[in-house]
């Protein structure tokens, strides 16, 4: 039982320490005039506020926030495509695994892939050849 009492005393001492109080006061001074603790880009904040409107169901908001087409293409997908092109040339763009990766790419990622293929001295061909898969 003594260990529990010591732990509580130690915890209380830690919270009573001047370092915590100074940090809390500094935080309060730094946050003056701000409503949120973290900075959110205005576009994203507008989207989140729109999803909180009374007419939007929780399911609608969830699907919009988790839909992979509403997020940028992960860099690892671009790197996987480029690795295939470096290893096997432009023929790799017709392989099923690479085609599937390309279908998940947004416009920005495709432009980056085209630019990187050009830097390799090859002719890029992704501008219009692959349409975005239809959403169901």
Looking at the predicted structure, is the pLDDT value of residue 99 above 80? Answer: yes
**Residue 20, SS3 per DSSP:** helix
Per-residue pLDDT, 127? 46
Any idea where the domains of the chain sit in the sequence? 1-38, 40-71, 72-136
Alpha-carbon dihedral 65, 67, 69, 73, rounded to 10 degrees: 80
pTM of the full structure: 0.49
pLDDT digits (tens, 9 = 90+) for 50-96: 999 999 999 999 988 888 777 788 899 999 999 999 999 889 999 99
**Residue 46, SS3 per DSSP:** helix
Per-residue pLDDT, 52? 93
- Quote the tokens at residue 39: 């900075």
Buried b (16+ CB within 10 A) or exposed e, 52-80: eeeeeeeeebeeeeeeeeeeebeeebbee
Report how far residue 54's alpha carbon sits from residue 6's, in angstroms, rounded to the nearest whole number.
50
């Amino acid at each position: 039982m003594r260990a529990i009492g010591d732990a509580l005393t130690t915890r209380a001492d830690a919270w009573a320490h001047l370092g915590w109080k100074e940090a809390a006061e500094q935080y309060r001074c730094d946050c003056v005039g701000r409503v949120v603790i973290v900075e959110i880009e205005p576009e994203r904040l507008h989207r989140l506020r729109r999803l909180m409107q009374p007419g939007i169901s929780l399911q609608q908001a969830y699907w919009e926030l988790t839909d992979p087409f509403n997020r940028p293409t992960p860099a690892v997908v671009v790197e996987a495509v480029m690795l295939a092109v470096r290893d096997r040339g432009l023929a790799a763009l017709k392989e099923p695994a690479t085609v599937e990766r390309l279908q998940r790419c947004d416009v920005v990622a495709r432009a980056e892939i085209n630019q990187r293929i050009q830097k390799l001295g090859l002719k890029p061909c992704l501008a219009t050849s692959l349409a975005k898969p239809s959403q169901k």
